[in-house]
Structure 1
Amino acid sequence: MHPPRWSLAVGILAATASGQLCYWPNGKDASLVACPVANGTAAACCFADHYCMSNGVCFSNTDLSFYRGACTAKDWSTSGCPTYCDKEDVAGAVLRAHVGIAKCTNKQYACQSTSNCATDSFEVPVGIMLSNLYLKSDIGVVSTASTVSTAGTPSATATSVGAGGATEATCTSTPAAAAASSGISTGAAAGIGVGVGAPLALAAGLLTVLLLHEKKKTRAALSRPVYSEIAPTSPWAKSEHTTYAPVEIPTQAPPPELPSDHRGRHELS
């Protein structure tokens, strides 16, 4: 019995990089997750829940964008580090944090924004999604080998391998970018870079990844207990005055009676 093709893809693409520390281009520690080693002895690092590409670029599955993350080599001189936007003399480069990659032309890209295309542009080779923990968690056994073109052509190609064989779909990339921030939390972290369109034809590939990711989050949300919050009574709703019962006075009071031992006033004659 032959192993399924998706398991072969995992075996080819997956490489253990757990426990490795990550560093920004300036040598400072980066709270990112090391990717499987694709080419070379070092590995790129991406934010948790994001996907790793074999060309060193990271892919945000929440806002469909590419960015350069960190590297497991502190000096960034080791083969395998994502050497994009990592030098101070490159327009839009960021050395202390991640940086988005913007699409200029079919083969050229720039750091952060297309406004830097005329000054400093570079090529990014075609990348293959590496099977890391987050990719496998999102897609399960539906699709484990995907290729996304981040350079060379104006389109992104996704290949899904499942029980029914391999299917391929293509979508057109559109330029989009934003400036990288100096600090960003893991939950809010999203690689800022070139946006990728998602037409219906991509349902067999990248959309499968995204939809399953959303489905997983929905299941997690439904499994949590729901508590009903009851707002406390506002102190301003309470009465600050004491209520007294009205006192009724009879309309016809009985005439006053003199005591039996009362003596009248003496009159002088």
Structure 2
Amino acid sequence: MQITSRRTRLAIALFFLQVVDLTFATLCYNPDGSVSNDVPCNSTASVSVCCTQGFICTANMLCQPQGWYDNTTGNPLQLIRGTCTDKSWSSNKCPGYCVAESVTGGEWVMRCGKNSTSYCCSADDCCSDSSVDRLTLPDPDVTATAGIAPTTTATTASASTQTRSSATTSGIPTSTASSNGTTSGSNSKTIGIGVGVGVGAGVVILGSLAWLIFWRRGKTKKADAAYIASLPQQSQQRDFFPQELDSTVPHKVEYPQELDSTNPPGYAHGNRPVFEVQ
């Protein structure tokens, strides 16, 4: 029974570790370690880039609002350095560029031409400023949509925007760029999403704990009953079910008897010897 109890405690501990890991794996962090309102591009990966809910995730670890590639709702050359599920940002799966410009959130990234591999960290036209450092990154092919399961193969951003509806852009970093009016939104929606995820995880944990408690109690009762049933019948009655005396049956009580003074010891009544007087 002790072995069973240890196994049960171990199973409970492992279960809660998995729940905690799953809960915290969905959190995204800014470069300074604070929690972001973004969601992972790949929720099943150990470490993933994060973007605003509904944004496209690109192969060069950047984010972009829906519809920007074909210039229908924004600048197709303007992308965003998002956040990461690794709180320390030490993983190479995190976007390790344009970090110093904004450690408390995302940062604008400008592509210097439609087919260019040259980028710079700014919402303005930094490509025309020779004093600004340049980055060399691959094409921003679409790999997933933030908050949705990743696609099996990468597609171009133009094909993606033709089949997906536009999304809210509350996670776009603050900037003075002219596109702010189009892409600004309320942070209350993303905060609400974060709170909802936290509450949902708490309900799952509490419900699981209650189920495990009831399951363990039922298993303990069954084990006790099986143990008692395995004992010999006489042992059960003697050791576990002591019997009381029946008060309705009279018990023979013997009291001490006085000796008959007329009959010496050793002689029965009426068998006394007769002596003749000579």
Same fold (TM over 0.5): no
Structure showing greater radius of gyration is 2
Higher fraction of strand: 1
TM-score normalised to the size of structure 1?
0.41
